């Protein structure tokens, strides 16, 4: 046990021991995403307390994967400390997660998924493989493995035009094409305003999942050159299924003054069960596993630091190399990839 003292009146409080990383529940055994709004979050022992006008509930911190904080949420330093110790990620979002604002540490302790993403996007052949898989997910009954990016863009354009046409027919909303000004929301017609609002919500959801997994929002495979390139890649997987039908449905009855808020509420209600969050998480891992096998918890529990070596890949950290009485080969104890994934290195803090 360790003891700390609060500033106000120097009152004493006692906390539970910091959990050992391998004593924590595996990621697949946790609640993936918990969304909270209009409440106060504090800490009691090894749980966070969530209090609103209806009362208070206790949530075991180690059972959480990602805590999404919506409007009106107020979290204490002690609660953040506990969640960080338990390996949970905190993300500040708009109502029901339809806007991404900021995030704390990712759910992962390792850079493994980020490294895989960077390696895949930096090689022309592997980037093309991932891009084709993204298109394959949109054309599940077709083989796109031999198509060029130009051909894939053409197929995708035809698919989306067909989706727009069908949504227009189903809703009775006239469709004259996608036209919008990102700097002037109200300059578009009603259905285009609804589409912009719905897509923005989907971008927020996708962004939250990406940062929770420790991936880079900027390293896209189809989109490129923007800080949210990967966000757009992932969101595009679900537009035809989620945001386009919702936008046309809302545009059929909403006024131009209320279409934005009504669309956001509709998307919020659609994703309230959390299934799209789970699905996006699985899809990202599937896309990044194209050249390697990614287990459900790979890269999420490793808490070790290594030194990079241009010949061998990884060597131990916190070791003095180049001693006078040993050769370089004796000093370098190489790290096998299996050991790397289960964490056999050292954290800098362990040496202090």
Residues 151 and 267 in one domain: yes
Residues 121 and 253 in one domain: yes
37 inside domain? yes
Residues 51 and 142 in one domain: no
144 inside domain? yes
- In the listed set 93, 120, 155, which residue is the last one of a domain according to the structure? 93
Residues 132 and 219 in one domain: yes
Look up residue 275 and give its two tokens. Answer: 């299934």
CA 45 vs CA 15, 49, 58, 60: distances in Å: 6, 10, 10, 9
Residues 274 and 142 in one domain: yes
217 inside domain? yes
- In the listed set 38, 65, 93, which residue is the last one of a domain according to the structure? 93
327 inside domain? yes
Residues 268 and 122 in one domain: yes
Look up residue 191 and give its two tokens. Answer: 């259905």
Residues 84 and 130 in one domain: no
104 inside domain? no
Give the predicted TM-score (pTM) of the model.
Answer: 0.69
- In the listed set 93, 127, 146, which residue is the last one of a domain according to the structure? 93
Task: Write down how long the chain is.
Answer: 352
Q: What is the CATH number of the domain that holds 244?
A: 1.20.120.920
Residues 192 and 274 in one domain: yes
Residues 164 and 278 in one domain: yes
Per-residue model confidence as pLDDT tens for the chain (352 residues): 222 323 334 344 444 455 444 444 444 444 556 788 999 999 998 899 999 999 999 998 887 777 889 899 999 999 999 988 887 778 888 876 667 788 777 766 678 899 999 999 999 999 999 999 999 999 888 888 889 999 999 999 999 999 999 999 999 999 999 987 877 777 889 999 999 888 988 888 888 889 888 899 999 999 999 999 999 999 999 999 999 999 999 999 988 788 888 988 888 888 877 688 888 989 999 999 865 555 544 444 455 666 767 776 667 765 667 665 444 444 444 444 444 444 434 433 444 3
Residues 43 and 69 in one domain: yes
Question: What DSSP line would sit under 245-289, residue for residue?
Answer: HHHHHHHTT--TTTHHHHHHHHHHHHTTTSHHHHHHHHHHHHHHT
Which domain, by its residues, includes 318?
Answer: 306-351
Domains of the chain: total: 3
Residues 132 and 214 in one domain: yes
7 inside domain? yes
Residues 122 and 196 in one domain: yes
CB 131 within 8 A of CB 296: no
156 inside domain? yes
| 72 Cβ contact partners less than 8 Å away, ≥ 6 residues apart | 37, 38, 39
220 inside domain? yes
């Amino acid at each position: 046990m360790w003891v700390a003292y609060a500033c106000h009146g120097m009152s004493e409080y006692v906390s539970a021991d910091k959990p050992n990383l391998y004593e924590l529940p595996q990621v697949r055994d946790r609640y993936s995403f918990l969304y909270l709004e209009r409440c106060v979050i504090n800490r009691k022992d090894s749980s966070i307390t969530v209090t609103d006008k209806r009362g208070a509930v206790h949530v075991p911190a180690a059972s959480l994967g990602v805590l999404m904080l919506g409007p009106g949420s107020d979290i204490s330093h002690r609660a953040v400390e506990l969640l960080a110790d338990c390996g949970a990620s905190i993300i500040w979002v708009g109502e029901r997660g339809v806007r991404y604002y900021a995030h704390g540490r990712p759910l992962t302790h390792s850079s493994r998924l980020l490294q895989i993403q960077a390696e895949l996007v930096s090689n022309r052949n592997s980037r093309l493989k991932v891009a084709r898989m993204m298109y394959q997910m949109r054309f599940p009954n077709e083989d796109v493995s031999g198509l060029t990016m130009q051909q894939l863009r053409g197929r995708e354009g035809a698919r989306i035009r067909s989706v727009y046409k069908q949504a227009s027919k189903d809703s009775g909303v006239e469709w004259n094409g996608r036209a919008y000004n990102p700097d002037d929301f109200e300059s578009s017609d009603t259905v285009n305003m609804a589409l912009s609002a719905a897509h923005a919500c989907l971008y927020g959801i996708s962004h939250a999942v990406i940062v929770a997994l420790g991936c880079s929002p900027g390293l896209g495979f189809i989109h490129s050159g923007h800080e949210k390139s990967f966000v757009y890649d992932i969101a595009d997987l679900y537009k035809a299924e989620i945001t386009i039908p919702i936008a046309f449905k809302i545009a059929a009855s909403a006024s131009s003054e209320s279409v934005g808020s009504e669309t956001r509420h509709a998307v919020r209600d659609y994703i309230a069960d959390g299934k799209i969050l789970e699905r996006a998480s699985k899809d990202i891992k599937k896309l990044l596993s194209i050249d390697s096998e990614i287990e459900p918890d790979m890269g999420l529990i490793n808490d070790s630091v290594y030194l990079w070596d241009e010949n061998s890949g990884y060597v131990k950290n916190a070791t003095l190399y180049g001693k006078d009485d040993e050769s370089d080969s004796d000093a370098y104890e190489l790290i096998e990839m299996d050991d790397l994934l289960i964490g056999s290195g050292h954290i800098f803090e362990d040496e202090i």
